[in-house]
Amino acid sequence: AALEARRPVVALETTLVAHGFPRGEGAAVAAEAERRVRVAWAVPATIGVIDGRICVGLEEGELQRFADTPDARKVGPRDLAACVAKGALGATTVGATLAVCRGAGIGFMGTGGLGGVHRGWGQSLDISADLGELARAEALVVASGAKSLLDVQATSELLETLGIPVLGWHTDEMPLFYRAGGGPPVTARVDTTQDAALIAEFHWRLGRHSAVVLAQPPKESLDVDSLVDEAVQTAEQQGIAGPALTPFVLARVHEASGGRTVEANKKIVVENAALAAEVAVAYSKLT
Ligand code: PSU
Ligand code: MN
């Protein structure tokens, strides 16, 4: 109904709800993200697969189900069809959420950190399918840069290769998720939501069919680089790779930081949802 009425709609993903926070805690984060979208006068559409049905917009109980079910499948773009066919519960990643957005005609999304090029990519070739979908979904995605466990420099290079602009929200550097400064340069700095909306509008009007990333730095930086490095090394020693890597590393870092990264991560997700809503509203007022 919101899309038909041409109201600004902001998509939110469910992988972070199911796999990004300690068990049960994801639902409150998702609810708060939705609330912040609503107070900005946009409509939240949290996306996930429930018993084989791709749902665009979830009820409270459905959100809770994702948070309470750690064995909900992590569904990337290539897993959507299998998840539907098997009637399974599937938490969609940024990539799969964008794939659904393309079908539904949603142009804005908020998330925490983007997937990208993993450290050791020369050996593993582990590059998130988020990048593939960012390269073809006409949506503005607000994130705090790429996930901190990645090779951020290589991710930034690949974003450039794929023609995906990275706009810096009040910054010239791509944020490093838990840390605001020190990242690679952005395509352009933006200081107002109108600025961001206008660049996205021109990008698409120029026939670019990719996403536009709006990178918002965290309000407070945390220095947890060594904890992330340690967790990535432990994962390697234990042979944890592929889709299981992020949930494993996040859980270890959340534990090792005494929950400080959990709190930081929650704020990031909520603030990014709010900014996505504000830009969606600014975009709706452009013409
Ligand atoms: N960043 C977080 N928590 C997460 C993710 C990113 O802080 O849970 C998730 C997102 O859903 C993202 C996915 O799309 O990780 C990418 O996973 P992979 O690298 O396996 O493609
Ligand atoms: Mn991967």
Substitution site in 12, 49, 134, 147 for ligand 1 pocket (most atoms within 8 Å of beta carbon): 147
> Ligand 1 centroid vs 4 CA: distance in angstroms?
30
Going by C-alpha positions, the residue among 122, 95, 124 that lies closest to residue 111 is 95
Contacts of 106 (CB under 8 A, 6+ apart): 3, 9, 10, 11, 45, 56, 100, 139
Ligand closest to 75 (CA) is 1
Q: Kindly identify the ligand whose nearest atom is closest to the C-alpha of 145.
A: 1
3-state secondary structure of 249: helix
Per-residue model confidence as pLDDT tens for the chain (287 residues): 999 999 999 999 999 999 999 999 999 999 999 999 999 999 999 999 999 999 999 999 999 999 999 889 999 999 999 999 999 999 999 999 999 999 999 999 999 999 999 999 999 999 999 999 999 999 999 999 999 999 999 999 999 999 999 999 999 999 999 999 999 999 999 999 999 999 999 999 999 999 999 999 999 999 999 999 999 999 999 999 999 999 999 999 999 999 999 999 999 999 999 999 999 999 999 97
What is the whole-number distance in angstroms between the Cα of residue 16 and the centre of ligand 1? 7
| Active-site residue (options: 147, 173, 266, 271) | 147
Ion ligand 2 residue ranges (Cβ < 5 Å): 126
Helix (H) or strand (E) holding 227: helix 225-237
For this structure, is 147 an active site residue? yes
- To test the ligand 1 pocket, which listed residue (94, 150, 240) has its Cβ within 8 A of the most ligand atoms? 94
Please give the pLDDT value at position 70: 84
One-letter amino acid of 208: R
Return the structure tokens found at 258. Answer: 């005494």
Q: Are 131 and 115 in contact (CB under 8 A)?
A: yes
Written as one letter, the residue type at 13 is E
Place of tokens 């990719």: 210
| CA of 113, closest atom in ligand 1 | 1
